[in-house]
Amino acid sequence: MATTLKTNFRVANRIEAFYTGGKVYVASDGSHIFCTNGDEVKILDAVTGKAVHSIKDEGADEVTCFAVTKDDEILAVAYRNSLLKQWNWKDGSCTRTWQSLHRGPVVSMAFDSTSTLLATGSSDSTIKLWDIVRQYCTHNLKGSQGVVSLVQFHPDSERLHLFSVSDDSHIRIWDLQTSR
């Protein structure tokens, strides 16, 4: 009887690091998973678990948060150095870069259901609303105390309301027509 003392193995599959904490988003059709990995956003195939795209800007700072439109077409990424970038994540191209105008890092972001407004909440206690189509800041909402850790639009696009949560343990509902 022969005994095998040595066997050689080849790597058949390798999964690299893809998540360092923060938000995780699953595409509306369930096909992709978006997550933060240091200075990049990784997009994984939900079936295989492999990274299919990596959104990384050379020279950019650490990613603080990101948001994806409801139709999964646009990815907005906030960086620690106060830059906001809009990406076509499917081909990896950056379509727009602008300053967040916040005094601290952006820690929460959300698109409205029409994918035309982007809300950014910051550690400076303010919320800014951005018109993605016309490319300007439409609202600067003040009144929170502490970090604005969550922003979310009302799901009904007819109701122009934004919900926010901050460190002062208050949930605020902002009427975007009156800015109150």
Centre a 10 Å sphere on the Cβ of residue 61 and count the other Cβ atoms it contains.
14
Q: Does domain 60-175 have CATH number 3.40.50.1950?
A: no
Look up the pTM and report it.
0.88
Q: Mapped to the 3 state alphabet, what secondary structure does 1-67 carry?
A: CCCCCCCCCCCCCCCCCCCCCCCEEECCCCCEEEEEECCEEEEEECCCCCEEEEEECCCCCCEEEEE
pLDDT at 2: 66
Tell me what pLDDT residue 119 has.
98
Q: For position 1, what pLDDT does the model report? A: 62
List per-block mean pLDDT (blocks of 10 residues) for the chain, which spans 180 residues.
74 82 93 95 93 87 95 95 94 94 96 96 96 94 94 93 95 91
The structural domains of the chain, with segments of one domain joined by +, span 60-175
